[in-house]
């Protein structure tokens, strides 16, 4: 921990973050920062938040009643450098009149690009191909070797046509797909119109889609939404992609579905837990590609996220409207 005493509002930054965001905070606040790549151990986190007015946190930090109690009544703003906020107990914050900032919008393109990358890589069996080249299993050109599944003429099902779901749909349109289905809490007519997507039930989407892409937030309703029942409803040739949160998937059920051929393949940028232990059975499967939660990992996106999270924090501390606040 690197303390820096001054009369400015006291803020804790729970990790090393892009310089631009940090500089913004440092210009106006008394910043205490955990200047490391890895998160602080919980006990150090709890010590660091005592008496702060603002908290700059990441999606890996659990912001719950215990932590808020430890921070005490001085804490007025929690700002997360993420669009997802399932790691924050929103109700507990609101009970204490703590405002919460987040970073929607600016990471939409990067995350959509990565989602499409996962879809293409999984459908065209890139993991197996790279392995074969590296292991010397690449013999001659063979007519039936490593044949995957194309996107042309496919039905794509998007679970959650929010900002990222819509951006994924837009990026897939030029691949000459036949149809986009979507489901979610409510119909989104204007977004659907932009990409010609058709609203349907979760079950119908699972049954009809060649690609099922999870773009929904993790909530109590979506926790383990993708379980044995869901995988059973999908086509045997279906490919499942998840770039939102690992918690929406029952991973044991996914493993079983992939292993037994109930579905063809899966591409995951998010898992439970993160990092996924290297002995996870999912990693042994040729038809499962796992990435280390890098959806928003472009330099410009991460910098923009840090700056927006810093702006949210500063605005909240100054009693001004935050650029992006969770209501
Ligand atoms: C988020 O912001 O919630 C993503 O998961 C990481 O950028």
Residue whose Cα lies nearest atom 3 of ligand 1: it is 84
d(CA 49, CA 26) in angstroms, rounded, equals 17
What pLDDT is recorded for position 3? 54
Residues 6+ apart with CB under 8 A from 33: 1, 2, 12, 13, 14, 15, 16, 22
What pLDDT is recorded for position 7? 81
- List, in sequence order, every residue forming a beta bridge with 10; answer none if it has no partner: 30
Per-residue pLDDT of the chain (327 residues), as tens digits, is 655 556 899 999 999 999 999 999 999 999 999 999 999 999 999 999 999 999 999 999 999 999 999 999 999 999 999 999 999 999 999 999 999 999 999 999 999 999 999 999 999 999 999 999 999 999 999 999 999 999 999 999 999 999 999 999 999 999 999 999 999 999 999 999 999 999 999 999 999 999 999 999 999 999 999 999 999 999 999 999 999 999 999 999 999 999 999 999 999 999 999 999 999 999 999 999 999 999 999 999 999 999 999 999 999 999 999 999 998
**Which residue in this structure is represented by tokens 């044949």?**
147
Ligand 1 binding pocket includes 301 (Cβ within 6 Å): no
**Which residue in this structure is represented by tokens 């349907």?**
200
Residue whose Cα lies nearest atom 7 of ligand 1: it is 296
Q: What angle do CA 290, 37, 278 make, to 5 degrees?
A: 30
- List, in sequence order, every residue forming a beta bridge with 57; answer none if it has no partner: 80
Can 224 be counted among the known catalytic residues?
Answer: no
Active-site residue, selected from the candidate residues 36, 87, 224, 293: 293
Ligand 1 binding pocket includes 306 (Cβ within 6 Å): no
Rounded to the nearest angstrom, the distance between the alpha carbon of 54 and the centre of ligand 1 is 20
For a ligand 1 pocket test, name from 81, 82, 85 the mutation site with the most ligand atoms within 8 angstroms of its C-beta: 82
Residue whose Cα lies nearest atom 2 of ligand 1: it is 82
d(CA 141, CA 227) in angstroms, rounded, equals 38
Residues 125-130: contacts with CB under 8 Å, at least 24 apart: 125/265, 125/286, 126/289, 127/286, 127/289, 128/286
Q: At what angle do helices 108-123 and 163-172 cross, to 10 degrees?
A: 50
Q: How far is C-alpha 297 from the geometric centre of its chain's CA atoms?
A: 11
Ligand 1 binding pocket includes 59 (Cβ within 6 Å): yes
- Nearest ligand 1 atom, CA 84: 3
Rounded to the nearest angstrom, the distance between the alpha carbon of 39 and the centre of ligand 1 is 16
Rounded to the nearest angstrom, the distance between the alpha carbon of 83 and the centre of ligand 1 is 5
Residues 6+ apart with CB under 8 A from 128: 146, 286
- Nearest ligand 1 atom, CA 110: 7
Q: Is 200 left (phi over 0), alpha (psi -120 to 50) or beta?
A: beta
Q: Whole-prediction pTM value? A: 0.96
Rounded to the nearest angstrom, the distance between the alpha carbon of 147 and the centre of ligand 1 is 33
d(CA 150, CA 172) in angstroms, rounded, equals 12
What pLDDT is recorded for position 5? 54
Integer CA distances (angstroms), 31 to 8, 27, 165, 326, in order: 9, 9, 36, 23
- Nearest ligand 1 atom, CA 102: 2
Q: What angle do CA 300, 217, 185 make, to 5 degrees?
A: 130
Rounded to the nearest angstrom, the distance between the alpha carbon of 296 and the centre of ligand 1 is 6
Residue whose Cα lies nearest atom 4 of ligand 1: it is 82
- Token representation of residue 86: 């399932």
ipTM of the complex: 0.98
- Nearest ligand 1 atom, CA 80: 2
Residue 54: its H or E element: strand 54-57
Radius of gyration of the chain (CA): 22
Rounded to the nearest angstrom, the distance between the alpha carbon of 271 and the centre of ligand 1 is 13
Helix, coil or strand: residue 321:
coil
Q: Are 222 and 248 in contact (CB under 8 A)?
A: yes
């Amino acid at each position: 921990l690197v303390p820096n005493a001054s009369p400015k509002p006291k803020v804790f930054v729970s990790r090393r973050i892009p310089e631009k965001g940090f500089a913004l905070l440092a210009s106006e606040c008394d910043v205490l920062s955990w200047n490391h790549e890895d998160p602080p151990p919980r006990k150090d986190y709890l010590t660091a938040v005592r008496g702060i007015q603002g908290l700059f946190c990441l999606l890996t930090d659990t912001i719950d009643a215990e932590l808020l109690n430890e921070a005490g009544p001085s804490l007025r703003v929690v700002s997360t450098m993420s669009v997802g906020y399932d790691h924050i107990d929103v109700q507990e914050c609101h009970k204490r009149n703590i405002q919460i900032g987040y970073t929607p919008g600016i990471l939409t393109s990067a995350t959509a690009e990565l989602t499409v990358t996962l879809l293409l890589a999984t459908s065209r069996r890139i993991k197996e191909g790279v392995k074969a080249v590296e292991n010397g299993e690449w013999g001659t050109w063979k007519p039936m070797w490593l044949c995957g599944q194309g996107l042309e003429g496919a039905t794509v099902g998007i679970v959650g046509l929010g900002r990222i779901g819509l951006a994924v749909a837009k990026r897939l349109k030029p691949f000459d797909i036949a149809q986009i289905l979507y489901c979610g809490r409510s119909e989104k007519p204007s977004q659907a119109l932009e990409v010609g997507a058709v609203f349907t039930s979760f079950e119908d989407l699972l049954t009809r889609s060649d690609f099922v892409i999870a773009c929904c937030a993790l909530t109590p309703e979506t926790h383990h939404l993708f379980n044995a029942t869901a995988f059973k409803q999908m086509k045997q040739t279906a490919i499942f992609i998840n770039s939102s949160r690992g918690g929406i998937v029952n991973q044991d059920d996914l493993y079983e579905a992939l292993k037994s051929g109930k579905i063809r393949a899966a591409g995951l940028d998010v898992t439970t837990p993160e990092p996924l232990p290297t002995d996870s059975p999912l990693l042994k499967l040729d038809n499962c590609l796992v990435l280390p939660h890098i959806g928003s990992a472009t330099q410009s996106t991460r910098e923009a996220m840090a700056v927006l999270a810093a702006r949210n924090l500063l605005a909240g501390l100054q009693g001004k409207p935050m650029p992006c606040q969770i209501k």
